[in-house]
Amino acid sequence: MPGIASNRVAPPLYQRQSKLRPRSEAKRARIVEAATQHFAEHGYHAARVGDIASGLGIAKGSIFQHFGSKDGLFFEVYKRAVRSFAQYLDVPPDVRGQGFFEVLRYWLARTEHLVHEDWIPYRISLLGNYGTDLVLKREINRFLISEDPYGTVAFVRYGLDRRELREDLDIELMVSIIDWMVERFQDALLTAELDPGLFRRQGELAERKEARIQQFLAILQRAIGTQPGAVPTKQRKKASN
């Protein structure tokens, strides 16, 4: 997902961390585990570091000593949450063999697992993407760009290697398009599942979901996919020489 460049000279305190001892690492892990549950239940703005500390039986200052601030604590919680998700190419071999857009179809069809199996990390990812302030959002965007936790870059290269994606588009642009559109579309699918009354069309939810997925993939394929009969860029260059 794209980031917003920051003009701060020094990174936030929660990004400047020295190497930890095993005991400190274990304590940090306990704090992050408890904070994950707390943020998921209360949201970012309503969450209280003091309540997290009380639940763990430790001093509030101990959390600040480890993470610097509430932002620093949430940032660690967010990174842990998104790292727990599977990457795009973590699919069964038969699905991967069918190509780029079938891999996307596989994940879109499984969107409901974010509610039923991964609700807490998904809730944390939503908070990070939509429910934090601009400074923290900048750091989240930087992390997403630098680490690419969903494996979007490798996924795009896989599509290019199979000649399913346009070679005339910038790779970073295609990565951003996929991150933007897939994330928003999955949110829309989950909204339909959690509150079907928000959608006025008639018909069974499963049928409408499949129709929306097909329409979404068709739009995305027209935008970044190669068209039938199109000659790859490299071949066009060879032919012109």
* pLDDT (tens digit per residue) in 175-193: 999 999 998 898 888 776 5
CATH of residue 28's domain is 1.10.10.60
79 and 97 share one domain? no
Q: Is the pLDDT of residue 6 over 70?
A: no
pLDDT computed for residue 230 by the predictor? 54
The H helix count followed by the E strand count for the chain is 13, 0
140 and 114 share one domain? yes
What are the angstrom distances between the C-alpha of 138 and each of 3, 68, 93, 199?
6, 17, 36, 33
Domain boundary among 33, 53, 83: 83
Give the side-chain half-sphere CA count within 13 A for 25.
5
68 and 101 share one domain? no
**Position 236 in a domain:** no
Structure tokens, 139: 């750091």
Domain boundary among 63, 83, 103: 83
Domain boundary among 64, 83, 102: 83
**Position 154 in a domain:** yes
Q: To 5 degrees, how large is the angle CA 58–CA 64–CA 67?
A: 115
- Number of structural domains (the chain) is 2
Identify the domain containing residue 166 by its residue range.
Answer: 93-227
Q: How confident is the model at residue 117 (pLDDT cuts 50, 70, 90)?
A: confident
**39-43, 102-106, 136-140, 205-209: range with lowest mean pLDDT:** 205-209
pLDDT, averaged across the chain: 84
pLDDT computed for residue 189 by the predictor? 82
CATH of residue 221's domain is 1.10.357
DSSP type of residue 118: S
**Position 237 in a domain:** no
**Position 123 in a domain:** yes
Whole-model pTM: value is 0.79
- Residue 44 has φ and ψ, to the nearest 5°, of -75, -50
**Position 172 in a domain:** yes
